Structure 1
Amino acid sequence: MLIDIHPKLPMRDKKITKEFYINKLGFKEFGSTDFEGYLMIEKDRIQIHFFEFKELNPKENYGMVYIRVENIDDFYQSLLDKKTPIHPNGSLEIKPWGQKEFSVLDPDSNLLTFGQSIMD
């Protein structure tokens, strides 16, 4: 039985990644141990892990995560209020597949897409 998933994404600089996720997306650091070259963050029931990859070329990074949310309008507005950059092609909109979505690129070009079903 599968019960959870914690995606692992590459990061070049732990301090920059941590600052972005905490200050721009509202996550907090997870765990009580600070592992060198590894970061764990969480928000509500979502955890994302990062591994250090100093040689990562952000233009060649295809890391992606789709995160389902509730109250997407409020979450989107909270990011705008924090001046979090929204992906230029990822503004909040209703998609043909029945999801209301928007996207954000982190400092290493990992694509985070947030979506809420409008079919419920």
Structure 2
Amino acid sequence: MLTDIHPKLPMRNKGVTRNYYIDHLGFKQIGTKDYDGYLMLKKDNIEIHFFEFKDLIPKENYVQVYIRVGSIDQFYQELLDKKIAIHPNGKLGMRPWGQKEFSLLDPDSNLLTFGQETS
């Protein structure tokens, strides 16, 4: 039986990735040991792992992760207040498939889309 999923995203620089997710998005580092070239972060019930890929070319990175959010308006406003860059084509809005969504790119151009179902 499946219970959880923890996507593994590429990162070029562990320090830059750690700082972006912790300082800007509110994640915390998890694990009892700090491994070279690997990073595990968590926020609420979301866990994302990162593997080192120094040769990653951000403009050629097509990794995408969809994260469900309980209070999307509040989370979006928190990011705007922190002056976090929202993807130019991913501002908060209703989508034809019934989700309220927005997107951003992390320092390695991993696309993070946050969505909340509306009723």
Alpha-carbon deviation of 1:38? Answer: 0.2
1:97: which partner in 2? Answer: 97
Cα separation, 2, equivalents of 1:20 and 1:90:
19
Cα separation, 2, equivalents of 1:66 and 1:38:
21
Q: Secondary structure at the match of 1:62?
A: coil
Q: Secondary structure at the match of 1:113?
A: strand
1:3: which partner in 2? Answer: 3
Alpha-carbon deviation of 1:31? Answer: 1.0
- What CA deviation, in whole Å up to 9, does each residue of 1:69-111 have, x standing for no partner? 1010000001111111100100000001000000010000000
Unaligned segments of structure 1, at least 5 residues: none
Q: Secondary structure at the match of 1:76?
A: helix
Cα separation, 1, equivalents of 2:55 and 2:29:
24
What is the number of equivalent residue pairs in this alignment?
A: 119
Superposition TM-score, scaled by structure 2 size: 0.98
Unaligned segments of structure 2, at least 5 residues: none
RMSD: 0.5
Cα separation, 1, equivalents of 2:58 and 2:15:
16
Alpha-carbon deviation of 1:30? Answer: 1.0
Write out the 4+ residue segments of structure 1 that deviate beyond 2 Å after TM superposition: none
Superposition TM-score, scaled by structure 1 size: 0.98
Q: Secondary structure at the match of 2:21?
A: helix
Q: Percent identity?
A: 69
2:77: which partner in 1? Answer: 77
